[in-house]
Amino acid sequence: NAGVTQTPKFQVLKTGQSMTLQCAQDMNHNSMYWYRQDPGMGLRLIYYSASEGTTDKGEVPNGYNVSRLNKREFSLRLESAAPSQTSVYFCASRVETLMNTEAFFGQGTRLTVV
Amino acid sequence: GNSVTQMEGPVTLSEEAFLTINCTYTATGYPSLFWYVQYPGEGLQLLLKATKADDKGSNKGFEATYRKETTSFHLEKGSVQVSDSAVYFCALCPGNTPLVFGKGTRLSVIA
C-alpha cells in the first residue's frame, strides 16, 4: 500500500549543485504534481503533469524542470540550486478527470541549499 | 482567479475546547472543497471533502459544510485533543486542474 513515494527524504546541496527529486505512485493516477511548502506561504505549485507525456508550469516554475517518465513517475530537477530553493517539496497524484477526487501526497523531501 | 483564504494561525486551544478554522474561497463554477491535515514531519492527508453545495464532510470528529451563498467551508470540531495538533489546509478543485490550497493554519492543543 505504498501510494506516493518520494526520494530522498532529506538533502543538503551547495549553491550551484544539481539534483533530481524522484516521485512514483502506484495508484494508476493520470495527474501528478510538484509543490513546495515554505513558512507562511502554504503550498505553491511548481509543475504538474495532467497525463503521461505532458507537463505544465504552475505558480513558481523558475529554476526547475520536470520529466514525466511514464505514468508512474514524475521527477523534479534543480539544475543549479540556489538558497531560495531551500524548502520542503511534495509530490502528489490524483485522478484529475474527476473533479471530486482528492490528491494523495508523498512524505516530502526536505531540501537545504547552503 | 481561483483562490482560498483561511484564518491565520497559530491557533492555541486547551484540550476539549471547540475549534473553528475559517475558510473562504473564490472560484468560477462549482468547485469541490477539501480539508487536509499535516502532522509534524509528514505529508498532507485528506481529512474531509464536500463536492456540492450544502454537502457536509466529516471525519474523526471534524466537520465542514459547503456554503455556496457565503463561499465558505469552515472546519469545526466540538472537542479537540492534543493529538489534533497539526497544520490544516483548506483547498478547492475548480475543475480538471490542480488543487488550489490556502496558506495553512497551525493548531496547537495543550493538555
Residue A97 has pLDDT above 70, yes or no: no
- Check residue A95 and give its pLDDT: 81
CB-nearest partner of A105 from B44, B51, B104: B44
pLDDT-based confidence at residue A98 (cuts at 50, 70, 90): low
Residue holding cell 466529516?
Answer: B58
The verdict on a CB contact (< 8 Å) between B93 and A106 is: no
- Check residue A107 and give its pLDDT: 94
- Check residue B96 and give its pLDDT: 75
How many Å lie between the alpha carbon of A3 and the closest alpha carbon of chain B?
12
Residue A46 has pLDDT above 80, yes or no: yes
In sequence order, which ranges of chain A are alpha helices (DSSP H)? none
Distances (CA, A) of B104 to A3, A54, B5, B8, B21: 23, 29, 9, 7, 10
pLDDT-based confidence at residue A86 (cuts at 50, 70, 90): very high
Residue pair B94/B83 in contact by the 8 Å Cβ criterion: no
What is the Cα–Cα distance from B96 to B103, expressed in whole angstroms? 22
What is the Cα–Cα distance from B91 to B41, expressed in whole angstroms? 20
The verdict on a CB contact (< 8 Å) between B98 and A45 is: yes
What is the Cα–Cα distance from B64 to B49, expressed in whole angstroms? 8
In chain B, the residue whose alpha carbon lies closest to the alpha carbon of A90 is B43
- Check residue B94 and give its pLDDT: 81
- Check residue A99 and give its pLDDT: 61
- Check residue A69 and give its pLDDT: 86
DSSP string, B16-29: T--EEE-EEEE-SS
For residue A109, which residues of chain B lie inside 8 Å, CB to CB? Answer: none
Q: Spell out, as residue ranges, where chain B has pLDDT lower than 70.
A: none
